[in-house]
Amino acid sequence: MKIQYLAVIFIIIILPISMVISYYVNAQIKTVSQQELYDAKLVTATYDSIRSFQLNTINSKYSSVSDSKIRDIEAGITSFFNSLGTELGATGYSREELSDFIPAILYSMYDGYYIYGKYYDASIEDFRIGLKPYVYYSCRYFTGSSTYNFVVNYTLDNTITIYGLVNGKKVTTSGALIKIGDYEHNANSLKTYTYITSTGNIVSNTIALGGNKYKKVQIDPEILSEKLIILDENNNPSTESAETYEYVTYKDQKIYIEKDEYGNVARDSVHKYYKTTNINNAGKHRSEVDASEIEEYPGIKCFFYNKNKKQYVTDIERIAYLEALLGQDSEGHTHVYSNSACQYYYDAYVFSNWVNDEIGDTIKQEHAYEVNDENEFKKITDFNVKTDGPIFNLEKEDPTLSSSTFNSNRIDVIQRSIKSNLSAEMANFNVNGYDYRMPQLTDTDWNKIVNNMCVTTFMQGMPIGMKYYNNYCVIPNDKNKEVVTEDSIYVLVDEDDTMDERGDIQAHYAGCTDLVDKSDKVFAAYRNIDFERQTVMTSGEPRYYYPHDDQKSYNCMVSGNGTYDLEEIIEGKIMKYSTEDDKYIEDTSKSSKISNLRKIYLTALAREKYDLYRTNGYFGVPVE
Amino acid sequence: MGDSFITIIAIFLAAVLMFVFPLMAMADRSDDVSTLAVQTATTDFVDKVRTTGKLTIDDYDRYVSTLNSTGNTYDVDIELQYLDENPGVKTTQTEMTKIGENLYYNEYTNQVEAKLNSKGRITLKEGDRISVTAKNTNQTISQILKNFFYQIAGNNTYNIVAQHGGIVTVNGTK
């Protein structure tokens, strides 16, 4: 045979094989490229959803009220679909078609979560897609008898709510948990004040002031201030630039204090308020008390910031509270000091003592039960991390540490609850015949969900070449009014001690490596959302201002230089790697310098947590 | 004489058809697969940095070793853009009606690698941007074969390239 014929036969055999392999490889390549494209678009669309939620809540004064929250979440979901629809629009998918490929969106919040998905609506007797009811991160503990049969609602930090039977008594109570030994109580720190209501009843109230110590740091009342733009009655700004006002938070609302021309707290000359000089008169009526024991005082001039205007406060309870917080600084000027941080630690101490006494040694992971529809108790055995010791023993363990039994159980309860509800939700989402299932989330992603407010989106069932697309995206929302995390506090440093408004004050992360040397110059700390731009709609153009407009540090906040671990700052022990010992040891030269930083930081963290809006009013130990 | 000439040409053609073209086709496929692997690794690396806010030396080393496992050598270019909001805040502070413009500070591969080697990680914040490009620096089999037929010369002679970037969605301080 001629060699040409052999060549031709060879080509006839090899060419089709080559073409098929080439086609197969190309198809695989296209599939994977398409997958990456969709991955990137999913991340972008999820981030757009978070951004929309951030912008809505930061600029809203009522964002923590549940109806407002639902509205903001639904706006975030709309942003997600719009963003994804725009990006995938070129490939031919409209928004309506896209919702067939999104089996669930999870909005995990401070004490529970919302799932956006398919549910059965009894009013229309059909399935519809929307926001399902709020689910709490809860776990029931039952010791077998009616002595202990209660539910604990966990949150993203160390606050819990307990309701049910504890030691045979029915209780409903909430509070923050701390290690009992970390708090040193000073009996002189409690102050009782009185006021007389409009009906003549004498009421007393006890608040915690300075002098107590937490983790060996003295927690004192502080002066808080921020900038505002105030509109006059014609909706025009009353000043050329935003002005600084001192404020205090009472029952989750900020009250701003007016100052007179001498820099002291201004007094209200119109309204009159009364209190009694003898604390023992509390509970009586004014008419039962001797007139010499009734004292009149002028109220403090203060206002709420309502719709960008001043709404003066004349409420007797609030004015009495502010009066009790009056103090003088070193220059003799009067201020209203915020005691939120002192109150937070005191309340946490009282609550932790109660929890430790009632359930500290008793309740362990083995007492966790779930109740099914037939009211049968079934023990929970599928925890990720098995712990043997008591969960709420606050004498031995610090619940604020990530390594504690309490924290490990908290994470497990949150994961279990989310996993079971999401799996059920996705299994019910039967569209186009595709088998929707909840994917396995990585540990990094679970870590984000259990420690911060997150949005998790799932996209499945989209045909992409040789397979179906199946992926998810978890993005935390760092700037929110839902939860105060340890890294959401920015610390203010006055570089040259002059308290000059322009230029010298810098904002740093609490763990900034520079702060070890500048710890003495740290004078205040605020939440990160107070450094975001606010918009005020006036009769003309919109006006913009920053409640805190301090320059962000170029060392830690602008450029990406590392920071110390915040748990090291909280404990007061900066660690360094020792090559001689081949392990991490305390760097005592640095640890000794950060006492002022720790004081300001721990005070600010407690104050922000205390001032956070709470939706349930059961804070405190149950009254006997 | 003519016959043997034709025979030589036929043998030459046969050799080219039987060996070179399939080899070139397979080499191109192999390059495509390498491109895919590099693109996947680059996308995964960038998306991880975007969703965690941290660029650690472990992640970077793992990314580079994934690239090298394709059997080629690569030139990796990283560009980090840090968001600086301070000019924007200053402008708004003095002029309430304006939203000041923010600036971005750039850092390039050498600076990024130096930072990673000294501190072990770079912490990014929401609003920063990252962009990574990987190009091959060696000559792949496909390039060698193509060179045989037509000269490919010059600096931009890379066959395998992957590029991905995006905005960082979360603060990496935790």
Residues with Cβ within 8 Å of residue B109, at least 6 apart in sequence:
B76, B77, B78, B79
Residues with Cβ within 8 Å of residue A144, at least 6 apart in sequence:
none
- Does the pLDDT of residue A281 top 70, yes or no? yes
On chain B, the residues whose CB falls within 8 A of the CB of A511 are 173
User: Would you say residue B174 lies in a domain?
Assistant: no
User: Would you say residue A184 lies in a domain?
Assistant: no
Average pLDDT over every residue of A20-49: 88
The single-letter DSSP state of residue A513 is T
Locate the chain A residue with the closest alpha carbon to B119: A562
- Does the pLDDT of residue A474 top 90, yes or no? yes
Number of structural domains in chain B = 1
Q: Which residues in chain B show pLDDT less than 70?
A: 1, 151-157, 174
Alpha-carbon gap, residue A165 to A173, rounded angstroms = 11
Same domain, A603 and A520: yes
A433 at B interface, C-beta within 8 A? no
User: Would you say residue B132 lies in a domain?
Assistant: yes
User: Would you say residue A109 lies in a domain?
Assistant: yes
Average pLDDT over every residue of A475-489: 88
Number of structural domains in chain A = 3
Average pLDDT over every residue of A524-536: 91
- Does the pLDDT of residue A617 top 80, yes or no? no
- pLDDT on residue A272: 86
How many Cα neighbours within 13 Å face the side chain of B17?
Answer: 19
User: Would you say residue A420 lies in a domain?
Assistant: no
- pLDDT on residue B154: 54
- Do the Cβ atoms of A44 and B98 come within 8 Å? no
Q: Which two tokens stand for residue A521?
A: 């110059």
On chain B, the residues whose CB falls within 8 A of the CB of A240 are 96
- What does the DSSP assignment read for A372-416? -TT--EEE----SS---SBSS-TTT--TTSTTSHHHHHHHHHHHH
Sign for the CA dihedral angle at B162, B165, B169, B174 comes to positive
User: What residue numbers bound the domain in which B17 lies?
Assistant: 2-167
Which of the four pLDDT bands, split at 50, 70 and 90, describes residue A6?
confident
On chain A, the residues whose CB falls within 8 A of the CB of B96 are 229, 237, 240-242, 543-545
Q: Which two tokens stand for residue A54?
A: 């951030």
User: Would you say residue B60 lies in a domain?
Assistant: yes
Q: What is the pLDDT of residues A139-158, one digit of tens each?
A: 999 998 888 999 999 999 89
- pLDDT on residue A270: 86
A494-498, A599-603, B109-113, range with the lowest pLDDT: A494-498
User: Would you say residue B79 lies in a domain?
Assistant: yes
Whether A528 contacts A481, CB under 8 Å: no
User: Would you say residue A75 lies in a domain?
Assistant: yes
Map residue B134 onto helix, strand or coil: strand
User: Would you say residue B173 lies in a domain?
Assistant: no
Same domain, A439 and A530: no
**Shortest alpha-carbon distance between residue B103 and chain A (Å):** 10
Same domain, A441 and A519: no
A17 at B interface, C-beta within 8 A? no
The last residue of one of the domains, among A337, A354, A381, is A337
Alpha-carbon gap, residue A526 to A546, rounded angstroms = 13
Calculate the dihedral angle through the C-alpha atoms of A230, A232, A238, A243, rounding to the nearest 10 degrees: -20
The last residue of one of the domains, among A337, A371, A395, is A337
Same domain, A459 and A519: no
User: Would you say residue B98 lies in a domain?
Assistant: yes
Alpha-carbon gap, residue B29 to B68, rounded angstroms = 18
Same domain, A596 and A574: yes
On chain A, the residues whose CB falls within 8 A of the CB of B125 are 557, 560
Same domain, A574 and A499: yes
Most confident by average pLDDT, A33-37, A107-111, B118-122: A107-111
- Do the Cβ atoms of B25 and A18 come within 8 Å? yes
Q: Which two tokens stand for residue A354?
A: 């109660």
Whether A453 contacts A477, CB under 8 Å: yes
Alpha-carbon gap, residue A471 to A477, rounded angstroms = 20
Same domain, A465 and A541: no
Among left, alpha and beta (phi > 0; psi -120 to 50; other), residue A235 is left
User: Would you say residue A152 lies in a domain?
Assistant: no
User: Would you say residue A390 lies in a domain?
Assistant: no
A300-309, A407-416, B136-145, range with the lowest pLDDT: B136-145
Residues with Cβ within 8 Å of residue B132, at least 6 apart in sequence:
B42, B45, B46, B76, B77, B78, B79, B163, B164, B165
- CA–centroid distance for A230 within its chain: 28
Sign for the CA dihedral angle at A211, A215, A221, A223 comes to positive
Nearest to A618 by CA among A369, A356, A347: A347
The single-letter DSSP state of residue A338 is B
Which of the four pLDDT bands, split at 50, 70 and 90, describes residue A349?
very high
> Which amino acid, A592?
S
- Do the Cβ atoms of B33 and A14 come within 8 Å? no
A241 at B interface, C-beta within 8 A? yes
Q: Which residue(s) pair with A578 in the sheet?
A: A583
- Do the Cβ atoms of A241 and B43 come within 8 Å? no
- pLDDT on residue A622: 65
Same domain, A503 and A528: yes
Average pLDDT over every residue of A506-510: 90
User: Would you say residue B22 lies in a domain?
Assistant: yes
Same domain, A446 and A545: no
Alpha-carbon gap, residue A250 to A536, rounded angstroms = 24
Give residues 27 to 56 of A whose Cβ lies within 8 Å of B. 28-29, 32-33, 36, 39-40, 43-44, 46-47, 50
What is the pairing mode between strands A224-228 and A489-494? Answer: unpaired
User: What residue numbers bound the domain in which A604 lies?
Assistant: 486-611
Among left, alpha and beta (phi > 0; psi -120 to 50; other), residue A125 is left
User: Would you say residue B172 lies in a domain?
Assistant: no
User: Would you say residue A317 lies in a domain?
Assistant: yes
- Does the pLDDT of residue A608 top 70, yes or no? yes
- Does the pLDDT of residue A30 top 90, yes or no? no
The last residue of one of the domains, among A288, A319, A337, is A337
